[in-house]
Amino acid sequence: MRHYLSLIVYLAICLLIIVIFQQNWLNAYIQIVMMFIGINIMLSSSLNLINGYMGEFSCGHAGFMAVGAYTASLLNMGLFTTSSIFGRSLFIGPQYSVFLFPVTLIIAGFCAALVGLLVAVPSFRTRGDYLAIITLAVNYIVKSSIENIQEIGGARGFMGMRQVVNAMNNVINIPWLMIWILAFAGTSIIALKRFVGSTYGKGVIAIRDDEIAAEIMSVNTQRVKLIAFMLSSGIAGIAGGLFAHVIGYINPGTFTIMKSTEIMVMVYLGGMGSLSGSVLSAVLFTVMLEFLRPLQLFKWVLIPLLLIILMLFRPEGLMGNRELSDVFPGLRRFFPSKEY
Amino acid sequence: MPLLELKQINHFFGGLQAVHNFNLTIEPGELIGLIGPNGAGKTTIFNLVSGFYKPTQGDILFHEKSIIHLKPHQVTSLGLARTFQNIRMWNSMTVLENLCISQHYRMGYSFMDAIFSTKTYHEHEKAVVKRAMEILESLELSEAAGEYPKNLPYGLQRRVEIGRALTIKPSLLLLDEPAAGMNPSDIDRLIELIQWIREQFHLTIWLIEHQMKVVMSLCERLCVLDFGQIIAEGSPSDIKNNPRVIKAYLGDEEADDDAEN
């Protein structure tokens, strides 16, 4: 029973959120902000695996998000809707989107993980600044490739994902998107937590602390790096797929270095190597962005300024390598630790 | 049957020849020392054996199988462990975690098992922690299990690093200057420790050392290296009286030797 306490609490919160959405107790704007929070949690925690736990500097996370966003959107549009690009829906009607939507998201995650290989394979030979440049290049490769494929809208972008959401709502009218965001965000946090909590996953931390020692003392660094990069980019891909369906319109301009920087800010704000820090900062940062909206473009002066202040006075971030349960030991009863 | 054989090893760093025609055979159970002045190529040889460098020429046989094409973690998995000249622990993790990660190569589960928290995962995790605790207990380090290595005194850090190497269940242990930076009482304890683990774990030990006290009291056979070449080989007493060795290495330390003996 105690073992599942944290899960039960999470499910209760999910249920509460879904009921609130269902009853429309909150206005549509706040609902969308909440969905962004969920997506940002996935993005920041997945990037934390690379930037925080592995100590590499990946600044192209938006590229993987783009791959996921486009894959999920294309699959869903092609399968379930009649659109100008794909013509009639392929072989199955819109009503099946209810079951197949998560499947398309997982496929999107796989595609993003495959693109993650573009970073993972060079990471065998380079690290640090050089790898950072490679991640930047991958971000641009993805963005420019999408811009140059006219069939999917090129630079003009791609829309119509609303139809998929509407198709799902036509079958059963519940807030499907929020449900899937909650489900995938929860799953990815659990997956990441279990991964970095296992001795196998701690190989990632060993690489950060001392790669030479890791390699000589029996860690298969290539395989560990491969898994870490693919896991991280896969989760980013799923987040991208959800993002596309929340907004209903995607264009390559959304997934630039600007977006990558936003994700990075969340990771550094939350603290390197702290999953609860990433979750906390994703919530804080998304809410802050919305509150600063009246400042319009000036928020992009203010937020980097905040980053400078953060780096000067608390470079380890809000949580800095600790989890929430380290700061508030009382929380431990929700997260029973393994005893061997 | 020799445990380790180095055959005609030559190694170049660009134009610099770091190892020159190095030949050595180590029999099981031996405790052999490699000494030589700074920059003689001792650590390079350890790096070659542990697979971190590939020799430019020559072959290295471990249990009569060539290991020069293996990656470092594969060499380790055959039972060849080492420590480092400047202690290299994973400092953001506890001593226990350090000793668990060093068993990475025989982790019998994939990352999927970890994510889905399967039975295989829990079984292996238990076995790994058990092994680590056994080693810690036998080295009288169980109280340090939850500490971070960097917070331990230097002598204990060495002990922990040797413990980490032992989790690999090695048949050959390479110790790269284990006594570097230690005070005399630490050195005495280290000598005891090396003798004890040798018997306890049936190890063959090959060590690099500058401290004559350690070398002379531990090693049965010594190998003296200068400019990447073996200039003398034999028992410690032979080496001490070898004029070439005195000239290359011991000459400027004669006074120290007299004081120690």
Per-residue pLDDT of A159-175, as tens digits, reads 888 888 888 888 888 88
Instruction: Please say if the pLDDT value at position B261 is more than 60.
Output: no
Give the mean pLDDT of B149-169: 93
The tens digit of pLDDT for each residue in B13-38 reads 988 899 999 999 999 999 999 998 88
Q: What was the pLDDT predicted at A334?
A: 64
Are the Cβ atoms of B77 and A218 closer than 8 angstroms? yes
Q: Which residues of B touch A213 (CB under 8 A)?
A: 84, 88-90
Q: CATH topology for A2-334? A: ABC transporter involved in vitamin B12 uptake, BtuC (1.10.3470)
Interface size A-B, in CB pairs within 8 Å, comes to 107
For residue A202, give the nearest of B51, B76, B101 by CB distance: B101
Q: Which residues of A touch B168 (CB under 8 A)?
A: 217-218
Cβ-contact B21, B9 below 8 angstroms: yes
The tens digit of pLDDT for each residue in A59-73 reads 999 999 999 999 999
Nearest CA in chain A to B132: A340
Cβ-contact B228, B218 below 8 angstroms: no
**Residue positions counted in chain B:** 261
Is B72 an interface residue toward A (CB < 8 Å)? Answer: yes
The tens digit of pLDDT for each residue in B210-256 reads 888 888 889 999 999 988 889 889 998 888 888 888 877 655 554 45
Cβ-contact A169, A176 below 8 angstroms: yes
Is A203 an interface residue toward B (CB < 8 Å)? Answer: yes
Instruction: Please say if the pLDDT value at position B132 is more than 50.
Output: yes
Q: What was the pLDDT predicted at B260?
A: 47
Q: What was the pLDDT predicted at A83?
A: 66
Burial class (CB within 10 angstroms; exposed 0-12, middle 13-18, buried 19+) of B222: buried
Give the mean pLDDT of B111-132: 92
For residue B102, give the nearest of A190, A217, A273 by CB distance: A217
Is A273 an interface residue toward B (CB < 8 Å)? Answer: yes
**Torsion of the alpha carbons at A83, A89, A93 and A98, rounded to the nearest 10:** -70
Q: What was the pLDDT predicted at A335?
A: 63
Backbone torsions φ then ψ of B198, nearest 5 degrees: -60, -45
B177-to-A262, B35, B158, B251 alpha-carbon distances in Å? 47, 10, 10, 20
Instruction: Please say if the pLDDT value at position A184 is more than 70.
Output: yes
Report angle CA A181, A14, A231 to the nearest 5 degrees: 40
How many Cα atoms occupy the beta-carbon half-sphere of A57 within 13 Å?
A: 10
**Torsion of the alpha carbons at A22, A24, A26 and A32, rounded to the nearest 10:** 60
Probe site for chain B from A199, A275, A316, A339 (most B CB atoms < 10 A):
A199
Is B88 an interface residue toward A (CB < 8 Å)? Answer: yes
Query: Where is pLDDT greater, at A337 or A10?
Result: A10
For chain A, the structural domain boundaries read 2-334
Name the residue with tokens 């073992």: A3
Is A221 an interface residue toward B (CB < 8 Å)? Answer: yes
Nearest CA in chain B to A273: B92
CA distance B49 to chain A (A): 11
Q: State the alpha helices, DSSP H only, in chain B.
A: 42-49, 72-77, 95-101, 111-116, 119-138, 154-166, 184-200, 212-218, 236-241, 243-245, 254-260
The tens digit of pLDDT for each residue in B68-109 reads 999 999 999 999 999 999 999 999 999 999 999 999 988 888
| 3-state SS class at A142 | helix
Is B78 an interface residue toward A (CB < 8 Å)? Answer: no
List the strands of the sheet with B4-13, edge to edge: B16-26, B4-13, B57-62, B65-66
Q: What was the pLDDT predicted at A87?
A: 63
Are the Cβ atoms of B92 and A321 closer than 8 angstroms? yes
Determine the Cα–Cα distance for residues B187 and B213; give it in Å rounded to an integer. 9
Determine the Cα–Cα distance for residues B240 and B222; give it in Å rounded to an integer. 10
CB atoms closer than 10 angstroms to residue A122: 18
Amino acid at A181: I
Determine the Cα–Cα distance for residues A129 and A147; give it in Å rounded to an integer. 27
Strands B31-35 and B204-208: parallel
Cβ-contact B147, B98 below 8 angstroms: no
Is B127 an interface residue toward A (CB < 8 Å)? Answer: no
A38-42, A246-250, B237-241: segment of lowest average pLDDT: B237-241
Which CATH number is B4-260 given? Answer: 3.40.50.300
Is B121 an interface residue toward A (CB < 8 Å)? Answer: yes
Q: Which residues of A touch B109 (CB under 8 A)?
A: 200
Q: How confident is the model at residue A337 (pLDDT cuts 50, 70, 90)?
A: low
- Give residues with Cβ within 8 angstroms of A23, minimum separation 6: none
Most confident residue range from A94-108, B40-54, B228-242: B40-54
Are the Cβ atoms of A217 and B51 closer than 8 angstroms? no
| Nearest CA-CA partner of B210 in B42, B49, B80 | B42
Q: Is the ipTM of this complex over 0.85?
A: yes
Name the residue with tokens 């899960």: A7
Q: Output the six-digit token pair for A300.
A: 């992009």
Is B91 an interface residue toward A (CB < 8 Å)? Answer: yes
Average pLDDT, chain B: 89
Instruction: Please say if the pLDDT value at position A97 is more than 60.
Output: yes
Q: Which residues of B touch A221 (CB under 8 A)?
A: 73
Is A49 an interface residue toward B (CB < 8 Å)? Answer: no
Instruction: Please say if the pLDDT value at position A339 is more than 70.
Output: no
Q: What was the pLDDT predicted at B259?
A: 47
Are the Cβ atoms of A214 and B93 closer than 8 angstroms? no
Instruction: Please say if the pLDDT value at position A321 is more than 70.
Output: yes
Q: What was the pLDDT predicted at A2?
A: 63
For residue A340, give the nearest of B84, B93, B126 by CB distance: B126
Nearest CA in chain B to A53: B92
Taking the CA atoms of A244, A247, A250 and A255 in sequence, report the sign of the dihedral they define: negative
Query: Where is pLDDT greater, at A83 or B29?
Result: B29
Strands B65-66 and B229-234: unpaired
Q: What was the pLDDT predicted at A170?
A: 84
Q: Output the six-digit token pair for A301.
A: 């002066």
